[in-house]
Amino acid sequence: MPKKFIRRFLPDHQSIKKNKALKVFGHVLHEPNLWHLNRRSASGAFGIGLFFAFWPVPFQMWLSAGVAIPFRANIPLSVATVWITNPFTIPPIFYGAYKVGTTVLGTKPEHFEFQFSWQWVVESINTIGPAFLVGCGICSVVFGLAGYLSLNWIWRFQVRKAWERRKHNRIDEN
């Protein structure tokens, strides 16, 4: 079942509640539904995490946790899913988002080389920025929705299979 698989990778909710950086959220974090794994909270968290994973901002985890609270989605899963974009996966994912943006806007992809400087960022906003941001927005919505729907479907499928297995075992016992 997805619940057992997901739970292996999530931190303990008590340790997260005690985290000093999360004191900003106050007593809202004591809501039990934010820590339980069920179909609704897990699929919502997965969708939220994938949505924010495509945002080119340094505080994706904060955004993901903040949005998970009003949607009553599992906070640890939401924050963990954001890490799909990590230092190793960011270049291909964001390049793919840029390609999506150029395709949607109908512009020709420009050749560019990444430089770790503020000047390069400022210059790139005018050249590749619009296509990149449009691509990130589209990928956020598409992958967030696809993640929500697919985890919801996988969860339902696993539960249905478990019920059929139980039914089959009861029939075999009689």
User: What pLDDT, in 10s, does the model give residues 16-33?
Assistant: 667 776 677 667 777 777
Cα–Cα distances in angstroms (integers) from residue 119 to residues 56, 98, 125, 136, in the given order: 17, 20, 10, 22
Which amino acid does the sequence have at 163?
W
Picking from 91-100, 114-123, 135-144, which range would have the lowest pLDDT averaged per residue?
114-123
More confident residue, 111 or 108: 108
User: pLDDT tens across 31-51, in order?
Assistant: 777 777 888 999 999 999 999
User: pLDDT tens across 54-72, in order?
Assistant: 998 888 998 998 899 899 8
* Enclosing H/E stretch for 105: helix 90-105
Compute the radius of gyration of the chain from its Cα atoms.
20
Cα–Cα distances in angstroms (integers) from residue 161 to residues 140, 164, 169, in the given order: 31, 5, 12
| Residue 158, pLDDT above cutoff 70 | yes
